[in-house]
């Protein structure tokens, strides 16, 4: 029987890189952290806030995201958006994802 801890560890590894791609794709439309957490969760990419916020800062530092503060509401929110560089990376990662998906389907015996 598959150990829950072993499964959890490998699922975490599998999802780690996919969250970057998911963020770059979703943030083609500006959004703020909490709303992004909710959107990712509803899309099947459950991410912990303690993982997402450092990731957003890292992607911004790498110039893959841009950000702007919206201070028009009572609570200021930092809105993130995929930069041109981030969109190019998302396109490249998406192509690779599609190739990996095809390869895995072949390995599993499907097409």
3-state secondary structure of 98: helix
Q: Does residue 1 lie within any of the structural domains?
A: no
Q: Does residue 8 lie within any of the structural domains?
A: no
Q: Quote the domain boundaries for residue 42.
A: 19-110
Residue 65 and residue 94: Cα distance in Å, rounded?
17
Q: Does residue 85 lie within any of the structural domains?
A: yes
Q: Does residue 76 lie within any of the structural domains?
A: yes
pTM as predicted: 0.87
Q: Does residue 46 lie within any of the structural domains?
A: yes
Q: What is the CATH number of the domain that holds 53?
A: 1.10.10.10
Residue given tokens 């190739």 in the structure block: 99
pLDDT tens-digit map of 21-61: 999 999 999 999 999 999 999 998 889 999 999 999 999 99
pLDDT greater than 70 at residue 76: yes
pLDDT greater than 70 at residue 111: no
Residue 58 and residue 98: Cα distance in Å, rounded?
25
Share of the chain above pLDDT 90, in %: 75
Region 81-97 average pLDDT: 97
- Count up the domains in the chain and report the number: 1
Q: Does residue 101 lie within any of the structural domains?
A: yes
């Amino acid at each position: 029987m598959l150990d829950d801890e072993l499964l959890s560890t490998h699922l975490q590894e599998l999802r780690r890189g996919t969250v970057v791609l998911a963020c770059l794709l979703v943030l083609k439309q500006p959004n703020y952290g909490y709303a992004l957490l909710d959107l990712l969760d509803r899309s099947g990419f459950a991410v912990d806030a303690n993982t997402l916020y450092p990731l957003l800062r890292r992607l911004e530092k790498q110039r893959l995201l841009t950000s702007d503060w919206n201070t028009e509401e009572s609570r200021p929110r930092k809105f993130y958006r995929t930069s041109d560089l981030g969109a190019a990376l998302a396109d490249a990662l998406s192509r690779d994802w599609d190739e990996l998906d095809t390869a895995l389907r072949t390995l599993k015996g499907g097409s």
